[in-house]
């Protein structure tokens, strides 16, 4: 990345409501990293405008600082308050939508949420990833295909859900090992299948600062029942998504905005022959679903095209470097 001309920094004295912004932008423009310079310029401009437009009070500014401190203090290896904050502000969904646009008839993304871990066991097809006897058994039979309907083999699939009480394993203080989560790979036909439990609705953790904020905003903390999936294979766009169970009371009011119509599914009661074939109890639920991946190239091209269109609409004189906008110096 080319270094910009040496930035002339004016004497930073007697800064006012009106000139603090351009001066702050200027002093942040010395790194030679055009993307960093642009990000900082937009951040400072928006945050200063926010203060000017709201006439932000000192008390409100301090309350915001304390709120962020509390988010940090409650966060841990297994508690991600900042992801929750990003989720309930709609930022997580927005960033996913910008970065992983999907051509028609391919699987849409959804929010990652704060409960993915890296210690899920790798299981064989047909294994039961849930150890919760109270859950209603669910058999999932899935395929991974490309946008032409061709099976994609060897995709690493991460799957995770709550137990029947609506808690992820990491929310239990006595967690010894991962449960209700696994990793498996698609086979030569693009197939993978597993046993789990029918997902239930659950509230996001609301005993911390984000929960208190939701309460103040008169918002509920509930997420509709869902199963999380993450698909990874070199050359293919990293897909983070979820399947939502139709008819959930929170289907249209997800606290973190993750539901899309194309991701709503309807498990059925399994018939006896299929139950026998797959070794699941009579009365189990069955869900069949085809996931459609896009290649890195397909996603990259679409992302660039959408970015150029969006920037043009905003009237911004920008160019893409490494697929990310920076001011056009030409």
Closest CB 102 distance from Fe ion, rounded Å: 20
Q: Please tell me whether residue 221 binds Fe ion under the rule CB under 5 A.
A: no
Is the Cβ–Cβ distance between 234 and 226 less than 8 Å?
A: no
* 3-state SS class at 110: coil
Residue 154 has which token pair?
């060897």
DSSP-assigned letters across all residues of 31-87: SS-HHHHHHHHHHHHHHHHHHHHHT--HHHHHHHHHHHHHHHHH-BTTB-HHHHHHH
Residue ranges of the alpha helices (H) in the chain?
Answer: 20-27, 34-54, 58-74, 81-88, 91-99, 209-216, 272-278, 296-313
- Return the residue nearest Fe ion (CB atom): 113
Closest CB 258 distance from Fe ion, rounded Å: 8
Q: Which is nearer to Fe ion, 147 or 253 (CB)?
A: 253
Closest CB 284 distance from Fe ion, rounded Å: 22
Q: At what angle do helices 296-313 and 91-99 cross, to 10 degrees?
A: 110
Q: Which is nearer to Fe ion, 196 or 275 (CB)?
A: 196
Q: Which is nearer to Fe ion, 109 or 113 (CB)?
A: 113
Q: Which is nearer to Fe ion, 113 or 325 (CB)?
A: 113
Closest CB 253 distance from Fe ion, rounded Å: 15
Q: What are phi and psi of 184, to 5 degrees?
A: -145, 170
Q: Please tell me whether residue 199 binds Fe ion under the rule CB under 5 A.
A: no
Closest CB 2 distance from Fe ion, rounded Å: 43
Closest CB 157 distance from Fe ion, rounded Å: 16
Please report where in the chains the tokens 């984000």 appear, as a residue.
210
Residue 210 has which token pair?
């984000």
Q: Which is nearer to Fe ion, 22 or 203 (CB)?
A: 203
Closest CB 34 distance from Fe ion, rounded Å: 37
How many Å apart are CA 267 and CA 139, to the nearest integer? 9
Q: Please tell me whether residue 113 binds Fe ion under the rule CB under 5 A.
A: yes
Do you know the residue count of the chain? 330
Q: Which is nearer to Fe ion, 113 or 135 (CB)?
A: 113
Q: Which is nearer to Fe ion, 214 or 326 (CB)?
A: 214
Q: Please tell me whether residue 114 binds Fe ion under the rule CB under 5 A.
A: no
Is the Cβ–Cβ distance between 225 and 196 less than 8 Å?
A: no
Q: Please tell me whether residue 205 binds Fe ion under the rule CB under 5 A.
A: no
What kind and span of H or E run contains 268? strand 268-269
- Bridge partner residues of 160 (DSSP): 181, 228
Stretch binding Fe ion (CB under 5 A), from 63-71, 106-114, 136-144, 283-291 = 106-114
Q: Which is nearer to Fe ion, 236 or 250 (CB)?
A: 250
Stretch binding Fe ion (CB under 5 A), from 21-29, 38-46, 72-80, 110-118 = 110-118
Q: Which is nearer to Fe ion, 113 or 137 (CB)?
A: 113
Closest CB 71 distance from Fe ion, rounded Å: 19
Is the Cβ–Cβ distance between 264 and 212 less than 8 Å?
A: no
Number of residues binding to Fe ion, judged by CB under 5 A: 1
Stretch binding Fe ion (CB under 5 A), from 32-40, 98-106, 112-120, 206-214 = 112-120
How many Å apart are CA 259 and CA 252, to the nearest integer? 7
- Is beta strand 318-321 parallel, antiparallel or unpaired with respect to 324-327? antiparallel
Stretch binding Fe ion (CB under 5 A), from 107-115, 177-185, 229-237, 303-311 = 107-115
* Residues near Fe ion, by CB under 5 A: 113
């Amino acid at each position: 990345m080319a270094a910009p001309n040496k930035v002339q920094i004016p004497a930073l004295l007697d800064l006012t409501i009106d000139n603090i912004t351009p001066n702050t932008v200027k002093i942040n423009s010395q790194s030679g990293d055009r993307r960093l310079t642009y990000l900082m310029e937009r951040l400072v401009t928006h945050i200063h405008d926010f203060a000017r437009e709201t006439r932000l009070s000192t008390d409100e500014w301090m309350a915001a600082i304390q709120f962020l401190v509390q988010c940090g203090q409650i966060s841990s290896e297994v508690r991600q308050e900042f992801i929750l904050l990003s989720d309930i502000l709609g930022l997580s969904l927005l960033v996913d939508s910008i970065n992983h646009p999907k051509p028609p008839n391919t699987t849409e993304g959804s929010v990652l949420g704060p409960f993915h871990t890296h210690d899920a066991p790798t299981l064989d097809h047909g294994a039961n990833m849930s150890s919760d006897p109270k859950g209603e058994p669910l058999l999932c039979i899935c395929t991974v295909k490309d946008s032409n309907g061709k099976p994609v083999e060897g995709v690493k699939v991460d799957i995770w859900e709550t137990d029947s009480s609506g808690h992820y394993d990491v929310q239990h203080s006595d967690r010894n090992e991962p449960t209700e989560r696994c990793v498996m790979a698609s086979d030569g036909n693009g197939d993978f299948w597993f046993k789990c439990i029918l997902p239930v609705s659950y509230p996001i953790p609301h005993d911390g600062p984000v929960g208190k904020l939701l309460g103040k905003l008169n918002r509920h903390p509930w997420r509709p029942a869902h199963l999380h999936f993450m698909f990874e294979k070199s050359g293919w766009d990293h897909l983070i998504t979820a399947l939502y169970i139709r008819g959930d009371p929170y289907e249209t009011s997800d606290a973190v905005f993750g539901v899309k119509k194309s991701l709503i599914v309807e498990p059925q009661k399994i018939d006896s022959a299929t139950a026998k074939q797959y070794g699941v109890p009579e009365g189990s639920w069955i869900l069949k679903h085809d996931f459609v991946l896009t290649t890195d190239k397909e996603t990259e091209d679409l992302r660039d095209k959408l970015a150029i269109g969006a920037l043009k609409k905003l009237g911004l004189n920008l160019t893409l470097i490494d697929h990310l906008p920076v001011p056009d110096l030409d």
